[in-house]
Amino acid sequence: MMLARDHPAAESCLMPRQLSPLLPLAGWLLLPAFSLPLFAEQPLRFNRDVRPILTDKCFACHGLDQATLEADLRLDDRQAAVDAGAIVPGEPEQSELMIRIQTDDQSLRMPPAEGHKQLTKNEVDVLRRWIQQGAEYESHWAYTPMQRIEPAEESVRAHWHPIDRYISAKLREVEVDPLPPADLVTLVRRLIYDLTGMPPTMQEVQQFAEDVSPASYDNLVARLLHSPRYGERMAVYWLDLVRYADTVGYHGDQEVSQSPYRDYVIKAFNENLPYDRFIREQLAGDLLLDATLDQRVASGYNRLNQTTEEGGSQAKEYLAIYFADRVRNVSQVFMGATVGCAQCHDHKYDPYTLRDFYALGAFFADLDERGVYGARSRPPMIAVPSIQQQQQLVKIQAELDALKHRRVQVQESLLPKQSAWEPLARQQTDALKEQVQVWIDDDQDTGGRREGEWNFITTDQGPVYRGKQARRQQSNQLVQHFFLGAERKVTPSPGTKFYAWVFLDPADPPQAVMLQLNDGQWDHRAVWGNDAIGYGKRTENWAGYQRQGELPPLGQWVRLEVDAEEIGLKPGSEVSGMAFTQFGGTVDWDQAGWLTAAAGLPQVVADALQVNADARTPDQARALTQYFINQSDEIIALDQQREALRDQQRGIESELVQTVVSRSVTPRQIRVLPRGDWMDDSGEVVLPAIPAYFGELSSQNEPLTRLDLADWLCDHDHPLTARTMVNRIWGLLF
């Protein structure tokens, strides 16, 4: 995996796949750190020698945080310190800073004694010499754009990687000698551990030790980098950074699988995905044009945070918790920065303000998320097939496409025969008559067991559709009552429908109502209203979650109906259970059962046959032709093959892992939270913005998006992104 494209460091500091030229240093160990006398005669440098002292002893009261600034004096800013007289460049004895840190008057002595931050004699001497030398400041090295450094060429080591030559020159400068190269066994052990995380086998050690070719090391590196173990080893490190887990995290250990994101990371390392793409796909994969499945899965990074489904939790509080977690992780992972310290106040040591914290988090205000979840579901989620499942689905789809093509051919061959069939069919025009079969009316008398609250009401307590009683179900959340194991089972046939009468209270309507049927499993559902009911819910309709549109009319009895075939109940199956489910509101449920059709032609077909061909409506002509075609033995055989394949397809799809992803919606309003208090709404409203220290982003998007943030992080001149990842990899491998 490479660094941000075209970055100055990209040729010399690539990820491990590019590290094979580091042969000379691969087996070296450096001697102990340099001794102090080595630097005693060198000019002092602010970042190396002075900043650590000021940060530790002074910046808490005289640094970036305006809320804790004492005496209106800033020592982190040279001009402010000079203007205040704290520093007189070249004149340490005239500088108030030196006077205060050396005075014997405890009322004036700095730092104050109660802070327990007294300067050592050596630190006082460093500050004196620094002021004497002109008191020059430096920007923090981490925020300085990287510059390419070309070390001197060495004739005998011209083949070395630039990094090697640079390190070698530095070692000579500080008079430190490297240890000799490691023996081959040690070297191969280090290398295989570094690139796979596993110890070498005896065979690998022996093979490397016996290979005397000049390219033996490079060949081994290439082999290891093409091993699946390499991606897994690197993914373990990355997954720790992004707080990956397969559980919700708060108030329990319920499973919420993120494994497709894990697989994406492994694949990214194994395929050497450019680092800028790696960043963009995780922060904004869902915003990319024509986003692929991999890119949508990658966007799940934004939702790897811990979540809760604890009943007593406050949604607003947890949205604030998720918000803060996201700012912390994004800044740490991609910038190596502690922006999280600014959640409650301006950062005391780094250039991040309270406002920066909330403006950075505002980039993620468009994420579709909830404060409190339920039923182990973390929408939005998508189904992600494994490689094997994907191959199976592709094969099945190809066979379905072939059947569809064949069906069209057969259909075209049948059409000329329709006119000869119609007179014969006209003789069979017994009209379709609906027959109502009652399962439940004034009592649950199916012979099966019932579950949930069966709260019967009479006509003096509320509306009743038929008879003397109805069933009232009332809640502010998900609730249901159902029966299972009915003695009178239903065997669906073509045209069978299940029904239930409902009355939705107009003063307290539900968000959604659902009918569920059981033929040994409950994956047969129809829902009216919104997606608040989680049972079987997927992005697309399927037999276990068929959306029927808006809620039925309020304040009147309505018969909910669902076709048995539409919800996956096949002819010949036995249905012995029915559930009545709602989310919130007050609903009265009454008579429920099923509807069957009498023998004969469907009514619409019978009616069409009574009309001359040239006088039929388009709907009549279409229904008649469709019925004629569907009676063909060859069409029936093709449809049975298709249904068998679709059963296989549905079986695979039911086993697919569901993983969380990002989905952009209208951004919610983000306010600065004084002292991080989620209940304090007095803070200013902020829009997405990068930390002010880095300037402003220009974009065509208003407000800025997560993709704008990712583009900024991957910008050629960004001082932190490449440096952070290279340093991590450097530390990981050395």
Rounded mean pLDDT of 673-693? 95
Model pLDDT, residue 447:
75
* Predicted TM-score of the model (pTM): 0.66
H or E element: which one contains 219? helix 216-225
* Contacting residues for 65 by C-beta, under 8 A, at least 6 apart: 345, 346, 347, 348
Minimum mean pLDDT range among 56-70, 525-539, 707-721: 56-70
CA nearest neighbour of 281 among 292, 271, 272? 292
Tokens at 378, concatenated: 């973390």
CA distance 480 to 84: 72
What pLDDT sits at residue 607? 83
Angle at alpha carbon of residue 707, lines to 696 and 725, rounded to 5°: 85
Residue-wise pLDDT tens digits, 119-175: 999 999 999 999 999 999 988 888 888 887 776 666 446 667 778 888 888 888 889
Q: Does the pLDDT value for residue 296 go beyond 60?
A: yes
Q: Is a pLDDT exceeding 90 seen at residue 13? A: no
Q: Which of 73, 70, 84, 75 is nearest to 55 (CA)?
A: 75
Average pLDDT, integer, range 654-678: 94
Q: Say whether 18 sits in a helix, a strand or coil.
A: helix
What pLDDT, on a 0 to 100 scale, did the predictor assign at position 535? Answer: 95
Tallying the residues shown for the chain, one arrives at: 734
Stretch 107-121: mean pLDDT, rounded? 88
pLDDT of residue 249: 81
Structure tokens at 322: 């998720």
> CA geometry: angle at 657 spanning 653 and 662, to 5°?
110
Residue 34, pLDDT > 60, answer no
C-alpha 363/C-alpha 709 separation (Å) is 7
Nearest to 274 by CA among 734, 727, 725, 622: 725
- Cα–Cα separations (whole angstroms), residue 28 to 13, 20, 22, 168, 187: 18, 15, 11, 11, 10
pLDDT band at 726 (very low <50, low <70, confident <90, very high): very high
Comparing 412 with 702, the larger pLDDT belongs to 412
Cis upstream peptide for 111 (omega within 30°): yes
* Residue 650 to residues 63, 133, 468, 646, Cα–Cα distance (Å): 62, 77, 43, 6
Whether residue 26 is predicted with pLDDT greater than 80 in this model: the reply is no
* Interval 171-221: pLDDT, tens: 888 899 888 888 999 999 999 999 999 999 999 999 998 888 889 999 999
- Give me the pLDDT at residue 76, please: 87
Q: What is the mean pLDDT of residues 6-15?
A: 34
Q: What is the pLDDT of residues 515-540, one digit of tens each?
A: 999 999 999 999 999 999 999 999 99
Asked if pLDDT for residue 261 goes beyond 70, the answer is yes
Q: What is the pLDDT of residue 433?
A: 56
* pLDDT at residue 3 in the model: 38
Q: Name the token pair of 387.
A: 């490689």
Question: What's the mean per-residue pLDDT of the chain?
Answer: 88
Distance, in Å, from the CA atom of 599 to the CA atom of 42, rounded to the nearest integer, reads 104
Q: Identify which has the larger pLDDT, 67 or 202.
A: 202
How many C-beta atoms lie closer than 10 Å to residue 398's C-beta?
Answer: 10
Question: Could you tell me the CA-to-CA distances from 410 to 372, 421, 628, 643 in Å, in that order?
Answer: 54, 16, 12, 17
Read off the pLDDT of each residue in 269-274 and give the average, rounded to a whole number: 96
**pLDDT > 70: what percent of the chain?**
92
Question: How many CB atoms are closer than 10 A to CB 291?
Answer: 18
Binned at pLDDT 50, 70 and 90, residue 32 comes out as very low
Amino acid letter, 561 = E
Q: pLDDT digits over 460-518, tens only?
A: 999 999 888 999 999 999 999 999 999 889 999 887 999 999 999 999 999 999 999 99
pLDDT tens digits, one per residue of 299-337: 999 999 999 988 888 999 999 999 999 999 999 999 999
> What is the distance between the alpha carbons of residues 266 and 270, in angstroms, rounded to a whole number?
6
How high is the pLDDT of residue 432?
A: 47
CA dist., res. 651 & res. 581, Å (int): 25
Q: Tokens 């922060």 appear where?
A: 283
Give pLDDT tens digits for 602-616: 778 888 888 899 999
Give the mean pLDDT of 660-685: 95
- CA dist 226 and 271 (Å) reads 9
**Mean pLDDT score, 641-666:** 93
Q: What is the pLDDT of residue 30?
A: 36
pLDDT in tens, 352-372: 999 999 999 999 999 999 999
Backbone angles phi, psi at 51, to 5 degrees: -55, -45
**CA 73 to CA 65: how far, in whole Å?**
11
Pure H helices in 336-437: 354-361, 387-414, 418-426
pLDDT recorded at residue 22: 30
Q: What is the pLDDT of residues 575-625, one digit of tens each?
A: 999 999 999 999 999 999 998 865 567 778 888 888 899 999 999 999 999
Residues 6 or more apart whose CB falls under 8 angstroms from that of 657 comprise 257, 259, 260, 383, 384, 386
